[in-house]
Amino acid sequence: MQLPDSFSERMQHLLHSEFPAFQEALQQAPLTSIRVNTAKAEVAIALNPVPWAEAGFYLPERPSFTLDPLIHAGAYYVQEASSMFLEQALKQVLDLEEPLQVLDLCGAPGGKSTHLASLISRDSLLVSNEVIRSRASILAENVAKWGSGNVLVTSNDPRDFGRLPHFFDVMVVDAPCSGEGMFRKDPGAIGEWSEENVNLCAQRQQRILMDVWGALKPGGILVYSTCTWNEQENEANMSWLSEQEGAASIKLALQPEWGVVPTQLNGVEGYRFYPHRVQGEGFFMAVMRKAGEAEPISHSKNKKKKYKLTVAGKKEKALVEHWLQEPGSYTWVQHNEIISAIPEALFEAADEVYQQLYVLYAGTEVAEVNGKKLKPLQGLALSQHLHKNAFKTAELDLEQALRFLRRDEITLGTSGTDWLLLQYKGRPLGWAKQIGNRLNNYYPKEWRIRMELPQVLTETAVVS
């Protein structure tokens, strides 16, 4: 790996005698790590844990994840281990049992958003945003697969969040950066690196922070991270934020065996991940508290308030409410032909987001109304709160499951006119409609597996 000269000079200045070990680590193959969706699965085999994340594990080798139906069922997520340190920031600073309003500003493809969804309470709202619309669709897919039901996926520019002043208790800004920490995983990032790009990234990060700062409550928490090492995009930006806005740095407790390197610049604490020190890629994180007193969540209780979200009619609600567990805990809303379930405690906050931002996906998309007919939707099949007993189910073997995920025709030897919830190892994958002896495959076209299936299929024993 040929590193740019100026980058090597920077890293030598930061690492001193550790620089040769750092160089050597960059020549090694990157590790593969996953985070298990504990609402859907548990680890199937003995795996080494990611020390700072309860549901994070390292794999001995990288399998073909595409050919494991359980990843499509949302049973786990492939996530870089260093970025799972987000868990420590939240657990050490916040009471995660309390209801929170959380923003993941740069959410795609969904690693931190699905992690946040697992950490916060069911009465907390996560707004997961991605400005690029194509990437936002991938984010919505991964959020739906995770199935927590308390997430809104939006696609907005950071400055649009100024329409929600003092709305969020927590903001996670995993800022677009120069990508130095990804050199081992993505050698192409080396060719894109330059001093000019570092400067441009640092300036863009400052603009992003200023655009969204007003949406954070006084006393609220910012978790800022990048996958790069230079000070300009990391400590210097946090020092700048402290000077501009009076934000206070929060110190986290570290375990020595983790190998995380604490740093400090002008009183701002930071946390660095180097591949020769940790089992993971390059990463930086800092936690800041906004000046001012924390405010409790408060939404208008004015019955005359005009809502943007339309509550589903009693007739439509009666048809679908038994499809989720605890149906009385949701507000059932209808947008065009789609009926969704939003946790009742989150309805007013969700409506405020709808009034100000572009929302792609909300809560759990349950059904599509077509005249007097209802079609169950993919979001329902993958929900952690699905009431499976409300449907007929069919268990698929590995080949059948993969053919279903490719949207190929499958036959199960059944007949009738029912909707079938298709499962693999007891985990729902999606819907098929029986038409006599034939099955219509309703797996979403945009989600389908595009690779050809090998002649010999081998099960991936990652989770069970």
List the binding residues for S-adenosyl-L-methionine. Answer: 130, 157, 174
Tell me the residue type at 283: F
Is the previous residue joined to 165 through a cis bond, with omega within 30 degrees of 0?
no
| Nearest CA among 306, 363, 312, 308 for reference residue 337 | 312
At 190, is the secondary structure helix, strand, or coil?
helix
Pairing of strands 248-250, 330-335: unpaired
**Please, what is the Cα angle at 270 between 267 and 275, to 5 degrees?**
150
C-alpha dist (Å) from residue 46 to 42, 57, 368, 450, 462:
11, 10, 42, 31, 9
Positive or negative: CA dihedral 284, 91, 43, 41: negative
Q: Please, are residues 205 and 233 in contact by the beta-carbon 8 Å criterion?
A: yes
Sheet holding 438-441, edge to edge: 392-396, 419-424, 427-435, 438-441
Q: At 362, is the secondary structure helix, strand, or coil?
A: strand
**Single-letter residue type at 90:** L
What is the greatest pairwise CA distance in the chain? Answer: 72
d(CA 263, CA 275): 16
Amino acid found at 451 = M
For 30, which DSSP code?
P
**How far is it, in rounded angstroms, from Cα 137 to Cα 133?**
6
From the annotation, which residues make up the binding site? 130, 157, 174
Buried/exposed code over 69-102 (b: 16+ C-beta within 10 A; e: otherwise) = bbbbbbbbbbbbbbbbbbbbbbeebbeeeebbbb
Q: Is 106 considered catalytic here?
A: no
3-state secondary structure of 324: strand
Distance between CA 52 and CA 55 in Å, rounded?
9
Give Cα 372 distance to the centre of its chain.
35
Residue 193's identity, in one-letter code, is W
Beta bridge partners of 375: 368
158, two tokens? 């950071």
**Token pair 């595409």 in the structure block, residue:** 66
- Which neighbouring-strand residues pair with 43? 463
Show which residues are catalytic.
227
